[in-house]
Amino acid sequence: MRRPMDFLRKNAIWIIALLIASLVMLEGPRALLIGAFVAAVAGLFWLLRGKARKPAAARRIEAVPKVVPLPLDRGSDTVRPQVLERVSLKTIDDPRLAAVVLMIQLVRTNGLLTRAERDAILTLMSDPLGIGDREHVYEQALQLTDRGRVFTPVAEDLVPLFRARLSLPERQQLIDMLGQVASAYGDASDLQREAIVRLKRRLFAPDAAAGRPLN
């Protein structure tokens, strides 16, 4: 089948030209017969040409590798529940832990925690807070803070605990500790000083004003 096809494909122009010339020279029924013959040859030519191309096209399609979707790795997408869970600051019942949280958050609001600031916090945890296992409590408090988180909402959640558990001198002591931590690595920023002033105003406010948000 390939040889006749090659012959027709290579000489198709000459064959058609010869048949057209014959039609011009002939008239009557013979011309009609030759015309029908030309049409049949042309149709046969295109039919055979299409069949010859079809296997090649089929081979090209089969040669394309099939894309099989891989199963999703559900294990890598699974987030442990304890990672998502976050202890509410309002559930803290130890004012010493709450004080450490405030000291760390006061620094982390401005960026990274420096070694000088960390050392200052650990020193205050020993005296005056009197915390024995400082490293453990420090890490626990650190997990309750966020880098860049605004200090005021954190303090807002802890104010009721401080007002309920701390005496007036102890509240002032907390304010002093925050000031020491803020200036442990250079001067305290304006935002830190303003945050401490707002917290102090709230801690020493009369009971009627204790429920108002920090501003």
Question: Does 201 or 38 have the greater pLDDT score?
Answer: 201
Q: pLDDT averaged over the chain?
A: 75
Q: What is the spatial distance between Cα 57 and Cα 12, in angstroms, rounded to a whole number?
A: 23
State whether the Cα torsion 120-124-127-133 is positive or negative: negative
What local confidence, expressed as pLDDT, does residue 110 receive? Answer: 81
157-182 pLDDT per residue, tens: 999 999 999 999 999 999 999 999 99
Based on the number of CB atoms within 10 Å of its own CB, is 124 exposed (0-12), middle (13-18) or buried (19 or more)? buried
State whether the Cα torsion 167-169-171-174 is positive or negative: negative
The count of C-alpha atoms lying within 13 angstroms of the C-alpha of 209, restricted to the half-sphere facing its C-beta, is: 11
Band (81; pLDDT cuts 50, 70, 90): very low
Tokens of 126: 């020993």
When pLDDT is averaged across residues 108-114 and rounded to a whole number, the result is 88
> What are the percentages of helix, strand and coil residues in the chain, rounded to 5?
70, 0, 30
